[in-house]
Every structure is written in structure tokens, then in C-alpha cells.
Structure 1
Amino acid sequence: MFIGIAAALIAGTMLGLYALPGKYTSDFEEENKWSLFFVLTMFVVPLIATLTLMKGVGNIYSGIDSSILLTMIVSSFLWGVGVMMWGKAIDHIGLSLGFSLFIGTVILVGSVLPLGIAISKGQPLPSTPAMIAILSGIAIVLLGVLSNGRAGLTREADEVALKAAEDAKAENKESTQSKSYALGIFIAVFGGLLATGFNVAFTYGAGPLGDAVKANGNPGWMTAMAVMLPVFLSGGVVMTLYFLFQLSKKKAWGKFKTPAFGKNFILIFIMAFFHYAASAMYAFAADSLGANGPIVVYAIFNTTCLVVAVISGILTGEWTKASPAARRWLYTGLACMVIGVLVLAFGQTLDQAPAAANSSPIQQLVSHA
């Protein structure tokens, strides 16, 4: 049990910190940083990890039905756009808000989606106590998302007011900054909606790929890796096309020719490794804790990720110019999300048989990849 819990804590910490090294790159435009990151995290790291750790890779993918693979690819395109928007949101509004708004949205949709699927398929819904707990958790997380949005807008007003006291031209900059913050909040939330495409890909692919993974002598937790490879490769295509266009449009290709490239590459590779390894580590943690592992890890992973991301944003000075009111909104949002995640996890335990415990929670967790 200790190993599983430690793995969950490490996974949450890695995801919460993955974007932090990007703050210390130099001589790179936003497009340079994120294009290199997505090449590494969508292609290089997944291929190396899968081919190195997984047995019978060719056999695993050759047996999957083409219709399932097509569904996974289409869903992965949406996920790829969502993750790309996540990176843009972090640049607009920082680590604290970028993470909490994005992941809060993913948790919301990831919790509602299984209920919608059950209704559409005529499947029985959770019992009344479980439904009350799940809906309560969703409402609390939603309150956290709204609170964080308010924190961002309040922080924006604080920074504009401070600038107005220092610069007579602040009025012209106010509209630009206001647009940036509003756009950043929208990007984070909309990106979180699209990112749940991973849930769909996992729902369709986990069954057949999981059977193939085990048939080729691999442990069950590698099912997540088997799903992640086609999802990452497909999502990576979307990101590659987008950043090829952006690098050319902004004439940023020359920025790669900098003495700081070696340092930047190492920092961005750490970002890519943390981003990918967080999901693989989560899957290992869930498998290590047995029947209720996904439920326990769901709470540990999301709570750790949110707390680490917010704290790292604060420590790197994102909220230096924010008023106490803005910080209170931020802390309230974080508290609501943590409590909401715990309530959701509790609701999942109320009427789940051990055999069924590996479905919904693991889909929600893997969606953070």
C-alpha cells in the first residue's frame, strides 16, 4: 500500500510541476517553448517508454479493431487541442489559475460524462446516496472553478490599478491586459472540455488493449501506456501542424539558434518527461492499491496536483501584486476543488463492487495526461 500511495503522490507532484521549468527558458518565444515540448512529450518520450518497457508492442496494436482505433484517433485530436490550449492558458494566466481551471473543468466533465453514458445506454444509475455524493462533489468542484475565475479577474484588476498608479499610460494597457486574462480563463476552461476526449479514447480502447497487454506478458497498469501511445501520437499531429504554422507566421524559427538552446532543451525535456510520466505513474499506483486503488488514487492524484501547481505559482511570484481579496478567492477555489475531489471519490466507493472499481475513476484520472 505504501508504494501505491507514494506513487500517487509522485504522479500528482510531477503533473503539478510539469510546466514550472518552462518559466526558466531564455531567448525562446512561447511558440518555440511549446512546440519543442509537444514534440518531446507527444512523440519522443511515449515511443521510448513504450518500446522500452512494453513487451509485444507490434502484437498488441495489430489486433485492435480499426473502428476502435479510428474512434480513439478522432477523440485524441480533440484532446490534443485541449492540452495545447492548456499550455496557452498557463502563459496567459500563470500556473496557479491555468492548472486549477483546466483540471477543475476536466474533473467536472470527467465526473458527469460516465453518468451521461449510463443514461444514453439505459444502464442503471448509482444508488441515491452515491448520486447525492457525486452531484455534491460536482457542485463543490464547480464552485471552485468559479472561485478561481473570480480570483483571476480580481488579480487582473489589482495589477491594472497598481500599474495605473505607476504609469500615466496604464489606461491604454488596461484593455489589452483585461482581454488577455479573460481570454486565458476561457482557453483554460474550453481546453479542459476538449481534453476529456482522452476519456472517450480510454473508454473505447482500454478493454481490447488491456486484454492484449496482459496476453503479451505485461502487467495490467501498462494498459494506460498502451492507450496513451496512439492518443499522444494522434494529438501530437494536431499540435505539430498548429505550431508549424505559428512558428512560420511569427518568424520564430530563428529563435531556436540561441546559445541557450542546450539549457532550454533540458528544461523542456523535464517538462515532457513529467507530463507523460505522471499518467503512467498514476496507472501503476492504481494497480498497486488493488480493487479500490483507482478511487484512492483519484483523490490523492488530483489533490496533490492542484495543491502543488497553486503553491508553485505562488512561490514563483505570480500573485505578488495580487490583493488579499484575490488570494482569498484563489485559496477558496483550491479548497473547494480539493474537498470536491474527496467527495467525488467517496461517492464512487458507496455502491461499487470491487470488480467494477476500475472503470470510471481510472478514465477520469488518465484524462489528465
Structure 2
Amino acid sequence: MTEGVLLAITAGIMLGIYALPEKFTKGFQYENTWSLFFLLTMFVVPIIASMLLIEGFGEIFGEMPAELWVKMGLASFLWGIGVMMWSRAINYIGLSLGFSIFIGTVILIGSLLPFLVDGLPDTDSLVLILGGILVVLLGIVLKGRAGLLREKDEAAIAPKGSEAAGGNMTTGILIAVIGGLLATGFSYANAVGRPYLHEASQAHGNADWVTAVAVMFPIFISGGIVMTAYFGYHLSKKQAWGAFKTPAFASNFLLILFMAVFHYAASALFAFAAFKLGDSGNTVGYAIYNTACVVTAIVSGIVTKEWVSASGKAKRLLYAGVACMIIGILVIAAGN
């Protein structure tokens, strides 16, 4: 149990800091940084990890039914759009709000989806889950309000016409919420693909936790297709291909590779943590994972001075929103 908890915390920290190196790239536009990131995290890292970790890799996926590929592919396509919007939200509103609002939305919807598939739970569990969802929703609203106040504070001290005075906070929050809604496609793809992939993985002598790596392979590959099309179009539209020739390319590549590995490894490590936690892995473990992620992202945003110009009121709303999210996640876990 202790090992599983520590692994879940570590996975959450990894996910919470994966986007931090983006702040330190030089000479890259948004499209350069995130197109390279998605190329690595959606294709290169999953392919290498899957081929190394999954015994019988070729047979498992070569024999996977076409209908299953279609179902997982379509859901993963939506997830890919959601994650892509997440990256845009981070670019607009920073790590703190980008992570917490996106993940809060995922938790909000993800907690309701099982009701559509499995029906309503017993009354006590239902009351706890719905209560937790309301607390998470309150946290999202408070953090959204904190973001709008921060933008107002920054605009008050910024020169007219500057980016800080431009008013991107509302747009960024909206993108994060919509991205979170679409990203729940991951849960559906996981639910649809896990039974076959678990059985096939076990048949080839793999450990239980390897099933998670197998499930992530078609999800990441399918999700990466939409991102390739999107960024290919915008790199051409903004004539940003030439920015890859910057003298800082080598250091940028290493920073973005760090992002890609941490993004993928966080999911894989959580899957292992859930396996170690047994029956409580997908409830308590998931709560620990997301709580660690949100707290890490908030701390990262503060350390990198995202909130240095924000008023005391804005910061208090941010902290209250984080507290509500943490409490809500734990209540939902208890209900489950």
C-alpha cells in the first residue's frame, strides 16, 4: 500500500511539472515547441516503450479486432484534440490555471461517465460522489475567478497594447474547459480496449501492469494523428518551420524530450501505482495522483512568477480553489 501511494504521488508530480520546460525554450514559437512535443510523446516514446515492455507486441496489436481499433481510435481522436487544447490553454493562462481547470473538468465529467455505463450506485455513494463533484466545480469557478482577477491586475500595470493587457484569460479558461470535456475520450478508449488487451497481454506472459502500457499505445497513436495535422497546418500558415533552425535547437530538443518522457511516464507510472494499490487503485490512487498533479502545477506556476503581479485577493481565490479541488477529489474517491 505504501509503495503504491508513493508511486501515485510521484506520477502526479511528474504530470504536474511536465510542461515546465516549455517556459525555457528559446527561439521557438508555440507551434514549434508543441509540435515537437506531441511528435515525441504521441509517437516516438510510446512506440519505443511498448516494443520494449510488451512481450508479443506484434501479435497483440496485429490480431486486435478492427472494430476495436475504430472505437478506440475515434475516442482517442477526441482526447487528442482535448490535450492539444490543453497545451494552448497553458500557453494562454499558465501552468497553474491551465492544469487545474483542465484536470478539474476531466475529473468532473469522468466521475459522471460511469453512471451512464453502470447505472447509479447506492444512495450513500451517490451522495458522496455528487457532493465531491460540486466541491470540485466550486474549485474550478474560484480558480477561474482568480485568473480573471490576475489578468485585471496585470493589465493595470502593463503598457497599453502589450500582451499582458490583451485579455486572453477568458479565452484560455474556455479552451481548458472544452479541452477537458474532450479529453474524457481517454476514459472511454481505456474502458473499451482494456478487456481484450488485458487478456491478450496475459496470454503472452506479461505482468498485469503491462496492460496499461498496451492500452496507451493505440490511444496515444490515434490521438497523435489529429495533432500532427493541426500543427503541420499551423507551422505552414505561420511560416514557423524556419524557427527549428535556431542555434538553441539542441537545448530546446532536450527540454521538450524531458516534457515528452515525463508526460508519457506519468501515465505509465500511475498505472503501475494503481496495480500496486489493488482494489483502491482506481479510486484512492486516482485521487492521490490528480491531487499531486494539481498541487505541483500550482507550485510550479508560483515559482515561475505567474502570479507575481496578482493581488492578494486573486491569490486567495486561487488557494481556495485548489483546496476545494483537493477536498472534492478525495470525497469522490471515498464515494467510489
- When normalised by structure 2's length, the TM-score is 0.98
Answer whether contact 2:78 2:185 (CA < 8 A) is retained.
yes
Verify: 1:141 aligned to 2:130, yes or no.
Answer: no
Structure 1 residue 176, shift from structure 2 partner: 6.3
Equivalent residue in structure 2 for 1:156, among 137, 148, 151 = 151
| Equivalent residue, structure 1, for 2:52 | 52
Alpha-carbon distance in 1 for matches of 2:55, 2:204: 6
| Equivalent residue, structure 1, for 2:77 | 77
Structure 1 residue 173, shift from structure 2 partner: 5.2
Verify: 1:288 aligned to 2:281, yes or no.
Answer: no
Equivalent residue in structure 2 for 1:200, among 188, 191, 211 = 188
Runs of 4+, deviation exceeding 6 Å: none
Answer whether contact 2:104 2:140 (CA < 8 A) is retained.
yes
| Equivalent residue, structure 2, for 1:273 | 261
Within-5 A mapping of 1:227-242: 227-242=215-230
Structure 1 residue 256, shift from structure 2 partner: 0.5
Verify: 1:177 aligned to 2:166, yes or no.
Answer: yes
Answer whether contact 2:151 2:164 (CA < 8 A) is retained.
no
Answer whether contact 2:284 2:330 (CA < 8 A) is retained.
no
Structure 1 residue 61, shift from structure 2 partner: 1.4
Alpha-carbon distance in 2 for matches of 1:217, 1:51: 15
Indicate the RMSD between aligned Cα atoms, in angstroms.
1.3
Structure 1 residue 177, shift from structure 2 partner: 1.9
Alpha-carbon distance in 2 for matches of 1:173, 1:291: 52
Aligned residues: 336
Equivalent residue in structure 2 for 1:333, among 299, 321, 325 = 321
Verify: 1:261 aligned to 2:233, yes or no.
Answer: no
Structure 1 residue 182, shift from structure 2 partner: 1.1
**Deviation digits for residues 27-69 of structure 1, max 9, x if unmatched?**
1111000000000000000001000111001121133221121
**Deviation digits for residues 105-158 of structure 1, max 9, x if unmatched?**
00001001111223xxxx4x2111100000001000000111111011010111
Structure 1 residue 336, shift from structure 2 partner: 0.5
User: What is the identity, as a one-letter code, of the residue corresponding to 1:247?
Assistant: L
Within-5 A mapping of 1:279-358: 279-348=267-336
Alpha-carbon distance in 2 for matches of 1:106, 1:50: 26
| Equivalent residue, structure 2, for 1:4 | 4
Alpha-carbon distance in 1 for matches of 2:18, 2:172: 19
**Deviation digits for residues 326-368 of structure 1, max 9, x if unmatched?**
10111111000000000000001xxxxxxxxxxxxxxxxxxxx
User: What is the identity, as a one-letter code, of the residue corresponding to 2:166?
Assistant: Q
Alpha-carbon distance in 2 for matches of 1:323, 1:285: 39
Alpha-carbon distance in 1 for matches of 2:144, 2:61: 42
Structure 1 residue 175, shift from structure 2 partner: 10
Alpha-carbon distance in 2 for matches of 1:214, 1:336: 40
| Equivalent residue, structure 2, for 1:366 | none
Identity of matched residues, %: 56
Alpha-carbon distance in 1 for matches of 2:297, 2:16: 4
Classify the secondary structure of the residue corresponding to 2:324. helix
Change (3 A) 1:174 1:313: closer
Within-5 A mapping of 1:50-129: 50-118=50-118, 123=119, 125-129=120-124
User: What is the identity, as a one-letter code, of the residue corresponding to 1:285?
Assistant: A
Classify the secondary structure of the residue corresponding to 2:283. helix
Structure 2 unaligned residues grouped into runs of 5+: none
| Equivalent residue, structure 1, for 2:36 | 36
Classify the secondary structure of the residue corresponding to 2:279. coil
Alpha-carbon distance in 1 for matches of 2:109, 2:29: 32
| Equivalent residue, structure 2, for 1:363 | none
User: What is the identity, as a one-letter code, of the residue corresponding to 1:140?
Assistant: V
Structure 1 unaligned residues grouped into runs of 5+: 349-369
Change (3 A) 1:317 1:174: closer
Structure 1 residue 291, shift from structure 2 partner: 2.1
User: What is the identity, as a one-letter code, of the residue corresponding to 2:326?
Assistant: V
Classify the secondary structure of the residue corresponding to 1:69. helix
**Deviation digits for residues 52-103 of structure 1, max 9, x if unmatched?**
1110011211332211210100111100000000000001000000000000
Answer whether contact 2:148 2:170 (CA < 8 A) is retained.
yes
- When normalised by structure 1's length, the TM-score is 0.89
| Equivalent residue, structure 2, for 1:251 | 239
